[in-house]
Each structure stands twice: as structure tokens, then as C-alpha cells.
């Protein structure tokens, strides 16, 4: 039996977007759009306990999962590694099994190590679902989904004519990896990737993308620019010479945005480093969809929790 599937063949966990068939991805977006549009949330998780298990800091991902679970009627528990028995030497696996033994059925897990969330999912008991809220630089599936929902709302459901550029520290970005999978799965017309050579990922991650270090050219005619944070905590020393140089070469300014399609949208998963990868007036400008992304995060996480843990 495939440990990723339930007995009736449904996905058990949400660990990445690679293993999510395009039809299921579309169905989740459809359901999330219903929630985003104010659709009634059923108490699908009534009596179900969900734990956010975060071994890395978070603002929007954790809070929006909490809100999503609450809106579906779940009990929500929050585990924070920095205030837990992890500081006394308990292993992540023992922590997971301990909370699971309390009857928790949903685990929303963030971890700094690639593959650590999938490893915990191996220890899940029948009926328990693990949702990846970001592992290392590998996967951030719900961010990929909420970014696709934001694109769909602005540009419609047909992505075949869209030009999208992902800019910045792609090498260290789990958001970029999940976005790339989702954009390919939804048939995006042209995916451009732009960043300094030292911050570009391997060729397999970039397959099918137009890759450039010329940010001005990369902005020409795009329908959406997805900006990424410089993830210095995941970076070896010296990959970026100075923040001023980075902003000059890869920061999204109003002048650069004028090269895009007139109705282009600007996205950023947050947290933003203003004045580095994005200028203030662009972050707060009329084309910014940064806060729409946050709102869509709640809707997408409701759809995912409902599909994995609902009756």
C-alpha cells in the first residue's frame, strides 16, 4: 500500500506539490476560491485536534493555519520548539509521537531541514495527516497553492498565455520550488527565473524556465512578478556582495515595474525586506497583491485541511 494514500486512494498528507495530481490541485483551488469568496465554512473538522508543530519561526503561515482550522471547527494546539521540551533534548520524532498519543489528528509542520517533515509523516498513525508548512529549501505546498489562487483571481483560470517571473534568491527558496511545480502543472505559458548566478538553483529545478540575470529584460511584458526574500539564514557567507548592489540589480522598483504589462501584479510571500528585494512604493502600490496572498492563505489552508481531515 502506498503510505502517502488513504485506504480509499486519497492523498493522506500534503508534503509537496510534485505528488499532487493536477486535477486535485485544481479542485483545491476551486474549493479555496469558494472560501475566499466568503463561502460558508462547514464544521468539517468539528472535534478534530490539529497541532501546529513549528521548529522554525513563522508569522503568516502558522497564524493562517490556526485560523483556517478554527473556521472549520477544529481544536487547535500550538507547539513552539523554543519553549518546549525540545530545549531539554527531546528528539523531533519523540515530540511528534508524544503529541500524536494525545489524539491529535492533524500536524502542520515546519522544519529547517529538507525532508524532515516527510520523515515525521512516516511515523503517522492511521487517520493522522501531516501538512508541510515549509521544510528547508525544498517544499512549501500551501504557499504554492495560495500563490496560484492569487494569480487566478487576477488573471483568470487559463495560465497558457501568462508570463510569470520569479526573482531573487531562488536557490534557497522552498516557495520558489513549490511555485515552479504549480506553474508547470497549471500550464503557465512562460516562466522566467531571474537572480544573481550564485542564487540560482540546479538545472533540474529550472527545467522549462527562461533563466536570466538581466532583471530589466526579465520584467518586459510580464503579467506577474513573484519577488523573493534574500534568505540569509539559509545562505553560506559571501553569496551577495552588498545589499545596496543587490537592490540596484534585483530590487523591484517602480521604474522596473513599468516594463511589465500595464495590469501586471506584484507578489511576495513575505516576510518582505523593504528596500532590498522590493521598494516601498511597489510593496504598497496598486499592483501589489501581497495582502491578497495573505488572505488567500487562510482560504487555501481551509481547503487543504478539509480535504485531508474532513469527513
The smaller minimum CB distance to ligand NCD, of residues 229 and 289, is found at 229
288: nearest Cα among 256, 272, 266, 263: 266
Partners of residue 130 on adjacent β-strands: 107
- The closest residue (CB) to ligand NCD is 229
Q: Which residues bind ligand NCD (CB under 6 A)?
A: 60-61, 134, 140, 143, 174-175, 229, 231, 269-270
CA 80 to chain centre: 20
CA 151 to chain centre: 14
The smaller minimum CB distance to ligand NCD, of residues 107 and 128, is found at 107
SS3 of residue 144 by DSSP: helix
Q: Which string of DSSP letters, residue by residue, matches 223-259?
A: SEEEE----GGGS-TTSSS-HHHHHHHH-B-HHHHTT
In the complex, the smallest distance separating the C-beta of residue 174 from ligand NCD, rounded to whole angstroms, is: 5
The smaller minimum CB distance to ligand NCD, of residues 140 and 163, is found at 140
In the complex, the smallest distance separating the C-beta of residue 175 from ligand NCD, rounded to whole angstroms, is: 5
In the complex, the smallest distance separating the C-beta of residue 67 from ligand NCD, rounded to whole angstroms, is: 15
C-beta separation of 169 from 145 below 8 A: no
In the complex, the smallest distance separating the C-beta of residue 37 from ligand NCD, rounded to whole angstroms, is: 22
**Burial of 253 from C-beta contacts in 10 A (0-12 / 13-18 / 19+):** middle
The smaller minimum CB distance to ligand NCD, of residues 61 and 105, is found at 61
311-146-20-48 Cα dihedral, nearest 10 degrees:
-20
Cell numbers representing residue 201 in the block: 538553483
In the complex, the smallest distance separating the C-beta of residue 2 from ligand NCD, rounded to whole angstroms, is: 27
The smaller minimum CB distance to ligand NCD, of residues 166 and 175, is found at 175
The smaller minimum CB distance to ligand NCD, of residues 171 and 229, is found at 229
In the complex, the smallest distance separating the C-beta of residue 232 from ligand NCD, rounded to whole angstroms, is: 10
Amino acid at each position: 500500500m502506498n503510505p502517502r494514500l488513504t485506504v480509499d486512494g486519497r492523498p493522506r498528507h500534503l508534503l509537496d506539490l510534485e505528488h499532487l495530481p493536477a486535477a486535485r490541485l485544481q479542485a483545491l483551488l476551486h474549493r479555496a476560491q469558494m472560501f475566499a469568496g466568503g463561502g460558508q465554512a462547514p464544521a468539517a473538522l468539528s472535534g478534530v485536534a490539529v497541532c501546529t508543530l513549528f521548529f522554525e519561526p513563522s508569522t503568516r503561515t502558522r497564524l493562517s493555519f490556526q485560523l483556517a482550522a478554527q473556521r472549520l471547527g477544529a481544536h487547535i494546539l500550538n507547539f513552539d520548539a523554543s519553549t518546549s521540551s525540545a530545549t531539554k533534548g527531546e528528539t523531533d520524532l519523540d515530540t511528534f509521537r508524544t503529541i500524536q498519543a494525545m489524539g491529535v489528528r492533524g500536524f502542520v509542520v515546519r522544519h529547517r531541514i529538507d525532508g524532515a517533515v516527510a520523515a515525521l509523516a512516516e511515523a503517522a498513525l492511521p487517520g493522522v495527516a501531516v501538512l508541510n508548512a515549509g521544510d528547508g529549501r525544498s517544499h512549501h505546498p500551501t504557499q504554492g497553492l495560495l500563490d496560484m489562487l492569487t494569480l487566478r483571481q487576477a488573471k483568470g483560470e487559463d495560465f497558457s498565455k501568462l508570463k510569470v517571473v520569479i526573482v531573487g534568491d531562488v536557490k534557497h527558496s522552498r516557495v520558489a520550488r513549490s511555485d515552479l511545480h504549480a506553474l508547470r502543472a497549471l500550464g503557465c505559458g512562460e516562466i522566467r527565473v531571474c537572480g544573481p548566478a550564485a542564487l540560482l538553483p540546479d538545472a533540474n529545478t529550472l527545467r522549462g524556465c527562461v533563466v536570466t540575470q538581466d532583471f530589466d529584460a526579465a520584467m518586459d511584458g510580464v503579467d506577474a512578478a513573484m519577488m523573493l526574500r534574500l534568505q540569509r539564514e539559509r545562505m553560506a557567507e559571501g553569496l551577495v556582495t552588498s545589499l545596496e548592489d543587490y537592490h540596484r540589480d534585483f530590487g523591484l522598483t517602480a521604474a522596473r515595474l513599468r516594463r511589465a504589462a500595464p495590469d501586471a501584479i506584484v507578489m511576495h510571500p513575505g516576510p518582505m525586506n523593504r528596500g532590498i528585494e522590493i521598494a516601498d512604493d511597489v510593496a504598497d502600490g496598486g499592483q501589489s497583491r501581497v495582502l491578497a496572498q495573505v488572505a488567500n492563505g487562510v482560504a487555501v489552508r481551509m481547503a487543504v485541511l478539509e480535504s485531508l481531515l474532513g469527513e
